[in-house]
């Protein structure tokens, strides 16, 4: 086993990053893959979705970032919640992740801390999914540097294209110093085929980005909101719903890249 790291990022909020992280991970787990989800967002939405509450978290990803290398193997066993959601393991986030900009001020090679820490886990999983915060900073840089594939959820809305430009600016800076460029694919989300604006944005994305856009399109589906409210996966509610089938299709496409 040599885990592929899937970084889910877009420098705009509300485009479906956490929904993509949780549901894609669930789809892969249902296909028999061993999946670990890392919640890198200080708001810890994926953590809360899995019904892991702050008072129940004795160790989080914040501790991984602050610890020295020799502590990582034993610390990971305390951080990871096994089978927390649809057979997925989850490493919870914490509000103190927002303090890393200050904590890392004197840290050397601070953009590669996550990459190095994940080496202790690579032989235990097929996929490691990183749910990222929307803002640029040390957390996003760590997630991008660690990525085998950057998956960019893009809401099929004209305002969402602005966040894409910001993310590409960050990628451009990182690619100047990384040995190989970061591989990426976009996935259109929140698509409503009845809305002409959604159709136009989807056409524009495919025209501008070509093969860098997944064939799968994730439709609007109220089951996502219900799954979040109930602390479960959309597959627990209706595995044949549009949203569930969409992420199952995306999981197939992702696996086909290797």
Model confidence pLDDT, tens digit, residues 195-231: 888 898 899 888 888 899 999 999 999 999 999 999 9
Q: How far is CA 111 from the centre of its chain?
A: 17
Per-residue confidence band for 98, with pLDDT thresholds at 50, 70 and 90:
very high
What sign results for the dihedral spanned by CA atoms 227, 52, 154, 34? negative
Cβ-contact 25, 168 below 8 angstroms: no
Question: Residue range 66-90: average pLDDT?
Answer: 93
Res 170 pLDDT > 90 = no
Residue 54: which of 40, 38, 43, 64 has the closest Cα? 43
In this structure, how many other beta carbons lie within 10 angstroms of the beta carbon of residue 104?
18
Query: 22-31, 78-87, 100-109: lowest mean pLDDT where?
Result: 100-109
Cβ-contact 174, 203 below 8 angstroms: no
Say what the pTM is: 0.94
Per-residue pLDDT at 130: 98
Neighbouring residues of 79: CB distance < 8 A, sequence distance ≥ 6: 59, 60, 61, 63, 64, 91, 92
Q: Average model confidence (pLDDT) for the chain?
A: 91
Per-residue pLDDT at 117: 96
Question: Residue range 3-32: average pLDDT?
Answer: 91
Per-residue pLDDT at 163: 64
H-state helical runs in the chain: 17-30, 45-49, 61-66, 72-79, 100-103, 113-118, 138-146, 160-175, 196-209, 223-230, 234-237, 242-255
| 137 exposure class (CB count in 10 Å sphere: 0-12, 13-18, 19+) | middle
Neighbouring residues of 201: CB distance < 8 A, sequence distance ≥ 6: 156, 157, 158, 160, 161, 188
Res 164 pLDDT > 80 = no
Model confidence pLDDT, tens digit, residues 122-163: 999 999 999 998 887 899 999 999 999 999 998 888 777 766
Question: Residue range 105-134: average pLDDT?
Answer: 92
Q: Name which residue leads in pLDDT, 161 or 61.
A: 61
Res 1 pLDDT > 90 = no
Res 74 pLDDT > 80 = yes
| 7 exposure class (CB count in 10 Å sphere: 0-12, 13-18, 19+) | buried
Model confidence pLDDT, tens digit, residues 235-253: 999 999 999 999 999 999 9
* Percent of the chain topping pLDDT 90: 68
| 79-84-35 Cα angle (round to 5) | 80
DSSP-assigned letters across all residues of 65-131: HHS-GGGHHHHHHHH-EEEEETTEEEE---GGGGGHHHHTTT-TTGGGHHHHHHTTTTTT-SEEEEE
Query: What is the phi/psi pair of residue 82, to 5°?
Result: -75, 135
Res 25 pLDDT > 80 = yes
> What domains sit in the chain, N to C, each tagged with a CATH number?
4-255 (3.40.50.300)
Q: How far is CA 148 from the centre of its chain?
A: 12
How far is residue 81's CA from residue 123's CA, in Å, rounded to a whole number? 17
Per-residue pLDDT at 131: 97
């Amino acid at each position: 086993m040599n885990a592929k790291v899937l970084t889910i990022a877009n420098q705009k909020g509300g485009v479906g990053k956490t929904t993509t992280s949780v549901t894609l991970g669930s789809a892969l787990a249902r296909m028999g893959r061993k999946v670990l989800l890392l919640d890198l967002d200080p708001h810890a939405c994926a953590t809360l979705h899995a019904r892991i509450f702050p008072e129940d978290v004795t160790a989080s990803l914040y501790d991984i970032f602050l610890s020295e290398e020799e502590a990582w193997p034993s610390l990971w066993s305390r951080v990871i919640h096994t089978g927390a959601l649809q057979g997925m393991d989850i490493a919870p986030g914490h509000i103190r992740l927002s303090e890393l900009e200050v904590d890392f001020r004197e840290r050397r090679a601070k953009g590669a801390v996550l990459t190095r820490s994940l080496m202790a886990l690579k032989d235990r999983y097929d996929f490691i999914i990183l749910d990222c915060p929307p803002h640029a900073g040390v957390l996003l840089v760590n997630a991008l540097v660690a990525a085998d594939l950057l998956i960019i959820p893009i809401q099929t809305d004209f305002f969402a294209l602005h966040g894409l430009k910001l993310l590409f600016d960050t990628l451009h800076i990182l690619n100047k110093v990384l040995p190989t460029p970061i591989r990426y694919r976009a996935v259109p989300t929140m698509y409503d085929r009845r809305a002409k604006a959604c159709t136009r944005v989807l056409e524009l994305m495919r025209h501008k980005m070509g093969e860098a856009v997944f064939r799968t399109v994730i439709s609007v589906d109220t089951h996502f909101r219900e799954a979040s409210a109930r602390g479960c996966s959309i597959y627990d509610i209706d595995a044949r719903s549009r949203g569930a089938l969409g992420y199952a299709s995306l999981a197939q496409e992702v696996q086909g890249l290797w």
